[in-house]
Structure 1
């Protein structure tokens, strides 16, 4: 089986890493069992679309997560969402024609996910979507559009939770094409926790475990409006009793923040961090305040309180089961959540089903079955 495995943005890299490792392990086991030493049961070609082209947003993750160098980098970074999606489609079409695949695997919900799915289907190539079926219900989110369109043309759906399964079933997807496998992000987290290390500013800022907050903001609804971003930051830094707030700043956020002219003695803005040092920071934080989806999954598994500044979430399991609370996008709602945290009344949370570090192994086992049963490839 020949697979084209697509990654384009920072969250994608954390999702493809365990799949690549699981493919290699499975191939070795099958070779030993069959005695065929020189034949790969699953061959993959790693395609980096270049959607994230900044060193700290891309190449750093490949090194830290032991992902092999991509077979090709399409170099499609920058531009508007339409320009970027179009560029990826043009480049990936050429790539897939030159290197045909039995299956294209896309992950997550970024522009690369959508663009490469469309190209694959128009070239009559099967598509598998890892992290399929998640929905926020918020059509103002570009990611929500990417999810819906991708899932509407996907052939095989790898899901993280039963919530995602239900979303797909409601949209008319045959349950035989849905595979509840768990969360590949958690595979990466569990495989690398022992390798986490403090960021270079740990001692400079005199950070102490459980005595600081981590803040991340990048959603257009939160950061494109300068006054809203300013209000959010003010509500956070003035309601945590002077504890440090570490703010690794997304390039999108920096463009707006740099024009605000604000400064607080306990607010420390830093450049984007690599995977290992960022998650060290999260693991030892008092709490995380974010508008990210993926971080809410990681905090749930690490047992760290998480305050999400959004009105909706595509990951309800982090709220229903985990340590996350959805407080909305109104800056005035932040203080009440922080008060609960300061009183020591934050919920403990549990780890969702199948978030056990073995998701990629289950995905590869399904791929082997798809290879073995020809009716899946007709």
Structure 2
């Protein structure tokens, strides 16, 4: 069984690492399975890409399509053109895509047009917000996927609602959590830990990347200044994306608590999260990791494609205004964090289940 694994952006690298590990374990057991790793180049900054391959022991990609940045359409088209050539030169039995970035959708489309089976890891998640490019990527990918691997029963139900074959839907757990468990003993403080005089449970981690929050200079400044005020003297560590940094430019910020850093590698970032008082973010994925680590997470969005992080985990949706955040965060400072648990099958074994299912399916087809 020949699998082409696609990765394009930071979250993808975290998700493919345990999948590759599971494949290699099966190879050692003598299973007829091999993989080719294709990096689309969607994230090409070293801190957003190369670092993850090094830290998570991911083999160097067999191919890098080097598409780099562009508008949604330009980037998607470039990935499709390059990936078609990749598959023509290196045929496979299955293309495995993860997550919901442009690379996920683009490569799934190319594979299906070439009559190659597609497996989607993290299938079925939905925010209901069609203004999010990721939501469109999810819907399109799932509409043509052959094998669906879901992180929750809610995601599986979403797929059933949209007409997916129940025999092809597999609730396996969360590969992001596989990576977390596999690397918890390796996380380490970033270089600035001592310089910033940080200590456990005494600082806040901030991440912002969604266009609605960062694309307009003045609204971004107002947002950051508002978050700075609610910190109540706590330091706020903000690993700033190069694109967001460029939007801020040389603008003078009136902040006292926010400490700007470069984007962090996985091991340093997870150390920061694990030892923080709380996380403020507009990311969906971070709320999964904070849930397992038991860290309060405040998500600046009106919706989430990962509802289990809110109903079971530590995540709280706070909307998109600083005023809402101030109220909810103030309640947390006053009353402490809410009771939380870990969702079903978030046990570090999702990747093993995925590869086991794919091998079994392939063997059945050969009979």
Q: Same fold (TM over 0.5)?
A: yes
Q: Are 1:192 and 2:176 matched, yes or no? A: no
Distance in 2 separating the partners of 1:256 and 1:180: 40
Deviations 1:279-304 (A, max 9, x none): 00000000000001110000000000
Q: Which residue number in structure 1 is paired with residue 90 of structure 2?
A: 99
Equivalent residues in 2 for 1:209-224, closer than 5 Å: 209-224=200-215
Q: Which residue number in structure 2 is paired with residue 82 of structure 1?
A: 73
Q: Are 1:271 and 2:278 matched, yes or no? A: no
Distance in 1 separating the partners of 2:337 and 2:85: 51
Q: Which residue number in structure 1 is paired with residue 27 of structure 2?
A: 27
Q: Which residue number in structure 1 is paired with residue 329 of structure 2?
A: 338
Q: Which residue number in structure 2 is paired with residue 146 of structure 1?
A: 137
Equivalent residues in 2 for 1:240-259, closer than 5 Å: 240-259=231-250
Distance in 1 separating the partners of 2:160 and 2:366: 21
Give the alignment's Cα RMSD to 1 decimal: 1.2
**After TM superposition, what 4+ stretches of structure 1 lie above 3 angstroms from structure 2?**
none
Q: Are 1:203 and 2:194 matched, yes or no? A: yes
Partner SS state of residue 109, structure 1: coil
Distance in 2 separating the partners of 1:348 and 1:3: 41
Distance in 2 separating the partners of 1:127 and 1:60: 28
**Could you tell me whether the CA contact under 8 Å between 1:303 and 1:348 is conserved in 2?**
no
Unaligned runs of 5+ in 2: none
Distance in 1 separating the partners of 2:61 and 2:215: 33
The verdict on how the C-alpha distance between 1:161 and 1:255 changes in structure 2, with shifts beyond 3 A counting, is same
Deviations 1:53-96 (A, max 9, x none): 00000000000000001000010111111111111100000000
Distance in 2 separating the partners of 1:184 and 1:327: 26
Q: Which residue number in structure 2 is paired with residue 17 of structure 1?
A: 17
Unaligned runs of 5+ in 1: 32-39
Distance in 2 separating the partners of 1:319 and 1:260: 35
TM-score scaled by structure 2?
Answer: 0.98
Equivalent residues in 2 for 1:56-71, closer than 5 Å: 56-71=47-62
Which one of the candidate residues 91, 110, 113 is aligned to 2:101? 110
Structure 1 residue 259 displacement after superposition:
4.7
Q: Which residue number in structure 1 is paired with residue 113 of structure 2?
A: 122
Q: Which residue number in structure 2 is paired with residue 300 of structure 1?
A: 291
Distance in 1 separating the partners of 2:284 and 2:118: 24
Structure 1 residue 263 displacement after superposition:
3.7
Partner SS state of residue 157, structure 1: strand
Distance in 1 separating the partners of 2:251 and 2:306: 31
Partner SS state of residue 254, structure 1: helix
Distance in 1 separating the partners of 2:240 and 2:366: 48
TM-score scaled by structure 1?
Answer: 0.95
**Could you tell me whether the CA contact under 8 Å between 2:228 and 2:256 is conserved in 1?**
no
Q: Which residue number in structure 2 is paired with residue 136 of structure 1?
A: 127
Distance in 1 separating the partners of 2:218 and 2:340: 34
Distance in 2 separating the partners of 1:226 and 1:239: 21
Structure 1 residue 375 displacement after superposition:
7.8
**Could you tell me whether the CA contact under 8 Å between 1:228 and 1:331 is conserved in 2?**
no
Which one of the candidate residues 218, 221, 224 is aligned to 1:227? 218
Distance in 2 separating the partners of 1:239 and 1:15: 33
Distance in 1 separating the partners of 2:38 and 2:217: 36
Q: Which residue number in structure 2 is paired with residue 166 of structure 1?
A: 157
Partner SS state of residue 238, structure 1: helix
Structure 1 residue 155 displacement after superposition:
0.5
Structure 1 residue 345 displacement after superposition:
2.9
**Could you tell me whether the CA contact under 8 Å between 1:192 and 1:276 is conserved in 2?**
yes
| Count of matched residue positions in the alignment of Structure 1 and Structure 2 | 367
Structure 1 residue 260 displacement after superposition:
3.6
